[in-house]
């Protein structure tokens, strides 16, 4: 009888761990949609879509709080060790970064609303469109890496952050050129800069999540170790 109870408790614990992972994926899916809508509302000047993005932030915040509370309960009741503990820590850190990504998507929507009454022109949004598509792809792949706890894909996302930074810097240079050539462009150009900054930060958050995945799988904190440190940590997976 004692053995049966132990087995039942173990299965229940596994179910709890699987539940928080599934909830992270649901939260990630919502944020992925939020980011896509934020980019779309900017490109097509859709104010209703922008308002939807802003409203979605409430649901994202609630999901973060719910998952965080569930993780707290697991820590208190189960006192997990080894990989189970690393999973809970990874989830807590990941949902914090996902919530911040949601905040950046909301910021993009708000900036898009401000741009809708300004004569920007689609041609001037091409750099932002390209950066936005890149960051959206990065977010999709890091969520996929989290679902499979794939260190190789996490590493690839980590390496892509440099390219995101280069695109961000290119967008800044282009926008500053607009401002220098025509001071009347300054009001909308500043909004473009803030949007580009929000997208660059989303790339940074995805990079953070890649480090958490490697921490969970390998049991080593690779923050601040750089590409070389990560390559050494996951060399058997490459």
State the CATH number of the domain containing residue 205.
1.20.58.220
Cα–Cα distance, 212 to 28 (Å, whole number): 15
Q: Is residue 110 part of a domain?
A: yes
* Number of domains making up the chain: 1
- Domain membership flag for residue 223: yes
Query: How many other C-beta atoms can be found within 10 angstroms of the C-beta atom of residue 61?
Result: 13
- Is 108 inside any structural domain? yes
0.95 exceeded by pTM: no
Task: Flag whether 209 is in a domain.
Answer: yes
| Planar angle of CA 39, 154, 27, nearest 5 degrees | 50
In a domain, 147, yes or no: yes
- Does 238 reside within a domain? no
Q: Find the domain containing 39 and state its range.
A: 2-233
User: Does any domain span residue 15?
Assistant: yes
Residue 191, in any domain of the structure: yes
Q: Would you give per-residue pLDDT tens digits along the chain (238 residues)?
A: 333 444 445 889 999 999 999 999 999 999 999 999 999 999 999 999 999 999 999 999 999 999 999 999 999 999 999 999 999 999 999 999 999 999 999 999 999 999 988 877 777 788 899 999 999 999 999 999 999 999 999 999 999 999 999 999 999 999 999 899 988 888 889 999 999 999 999 999 999 999 999 999 999 999 999 999 999 999 998 8
């Amino acid at each position: 009888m004692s053995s049966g109870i132990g087995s039942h408790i173990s299965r229940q614990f596994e179910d709890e761990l699987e539940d928080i992972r599934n909830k992270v994926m649901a939260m990630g899916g919502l944020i992925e949609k939020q980011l896509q809508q934020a980019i779309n509302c900017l490109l097509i000047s859709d104010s209703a879509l922008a308002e939807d993005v802003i409203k979605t932030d409430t649901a994202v915040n609630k999901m973060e709080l719910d998952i965080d509370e569930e993780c707290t309960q697991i820590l208190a009741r189960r006192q997990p060790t080894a990989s189970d503990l690393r999973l809970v820590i990874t989830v807590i850190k990941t949902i914090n970064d996902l919530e911040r990504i949601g905040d950046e998507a909301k910021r993009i929507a708000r900036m898009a609303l401000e741009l809708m009454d300004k004569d920007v022109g689609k041609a001037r949004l091409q750099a932002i469109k390209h950066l936005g598509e890149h960051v959206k792809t990065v977010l999709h792949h890091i969520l996929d890496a989290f679902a499979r706890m794939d260190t190789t894909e996490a590493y690839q996302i980590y390496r892509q952050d440099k390219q995101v930074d280069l695109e961000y810097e290119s967008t800044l240079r282009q926008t500053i050129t607009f401002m220098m050539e025509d001071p009347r462009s300054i009001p909308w150009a500043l909004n473009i800069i803030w949007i580009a900054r929000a997208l660059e930060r989303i790339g940074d958050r995805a990079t953070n999540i890649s480090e958490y995945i490697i921490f969970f799988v390998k049991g080593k904190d690779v923050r601040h170790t750089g590409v070389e440190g990560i390559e050494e940590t996951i060399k058997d997976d490459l």
